[in-house]
A and B are shown apart, each in its own frame.
Chain A
């Protein structure tokens, strides 16, 4: 499902994505992305760091944000998406992440609509995991 053109206006909320983080999922992502940093996959190592335990890859969280954008904008996102985020709080095994977004601006240019969105990933405590913006040409 992609948002209909009539919904591409300021204030429209993007379809939320919810994900539960587990160590197994982090391990699967480590293998798929080839990022085997022990802070993600070695609980013994991670427990001795200031983080106190393993954390999910930042790129995994971004993949979830991208899922939301793909759901909202379809192929337009895959061919013209832009994402700019800051990582605020690590996502840890056991966390439930909610990825949300809202259109804050639209601008017509050369027959295309440039849609700008705020995007946010929060954990179950309401803490921001990532916060930033996304843009797409439709």
Chain B
């Protein structure tokens, strides 16, 4: 995975593009994920497929890897669309941007839109995730 420096929350504004990240979806990553979610369905190993929610989770690391967020961020809303199945061994690129940022008093809401492409530049997944951020008095 590629890693770059972090930006601060106050630097974010709608339209801000987070640094893209990419992953090669190794069998060990898939194995760890399937174990963590206690997935009993053999469909993934039988068909060499990556669970799409794993891809959605990896895409969200664009946020945690690139933005200095206060501890305690929690999800309020999630949307995800799977556009094509992804095979183990493929390489995905995750592109995310800030679609909404609301700072009103103690209320801080952030919405991130994400798109994930495979190595052939085919879009495989889109997502939209909203968060509430606590304790930002010194950072906004």
Which residues of A are at the interface with B, using a C-beta cutoff of 8 A?
Answer: 19, 25, 28-29, 31-39, 42, 45-46, 49-51, 55, 57-60, 62-64, 66-67, 70-71, 74-75, 77-87, 90
Residue of A nearest to B135 (CB): A49
Residue of B nearest to A29 (CB): B36
A82 close to B82 (CB less than 8 A): yes
B36 in complex: contacting residue of A31, A39, A81, CB < 8 Å: A31
Chain A's nearest CB lies how many Å from the CB of B64?
6
Residue of B nearest to A90 (CB): B74
What's the count of A-B pairs with C-beta under 8 Å?
A: 131
Which residues of B are at the interface with A, using a C-beta cutoff of 8 A?
Answer: 29, 32-33, 35-41, 43, 47, 49, 51-54, 56-58, 60-61, 64, 71-85, 134
A83 close to B78 (CB less than 8 A): yes
> Taking each of B47, B61, B77, which has the highest tally of chain A beta carbons within 10 Å of its own beta carbon?
B77
B37 close to A60 (CB less than 8 A): yes
B78 in complex: contacting residue of A25, A46, A58, A90, CB < 8 Å: A58
Residues of A within 8 A of B73 (CB): 37, 39
B74 close to A59 (CB less than 8 A): no
Residues of A within 8 A of B79 (CB): 82-85
Chain B's nearest CB lies how many Å from the CB of A25?
7
Residues of A within 8 A of B39 (CB): 63, 67
A-B pairs with lowest CB-CB distance, top 8 = A58-B75, A32-B36, A33-B57, A28-B36, A32-B32, A63-B37, A29-B36, A79-B85
Q: Provide the main secondary structure of the chain A interface.
A: helix
A81 in complex: contacting residue of B29, B77, B78, B81, CB < 8 Å: B81
CA distance A67 to B43 in the complex (A): 11
Residues of B within 8 A of A32 (CB): 29, 32-33, 35-37, 54, 57
Residue of B nearest to A87 (CB): B75
Residues of B within 8 A of A71 (CB): 41
Known interface pairs A31-B36, A35-B61, A66-B51. Does A78 touch B43 (Cβ–Cβ under 8 Å)?
yes
Residues of B within 8 A of A90 (CB): 74
Residues of A within 8 A of B82 (CB): 77-82
Known interface pairs A34-B61, A39-B73, A83-B79. Does A78 touch B37 (Cβ–Cβ under 8 Å)?
no
B60 close to A59 (CB less than 8 A): yes
Residues of A within 8 A of B52 (CB): 66, 78, 81
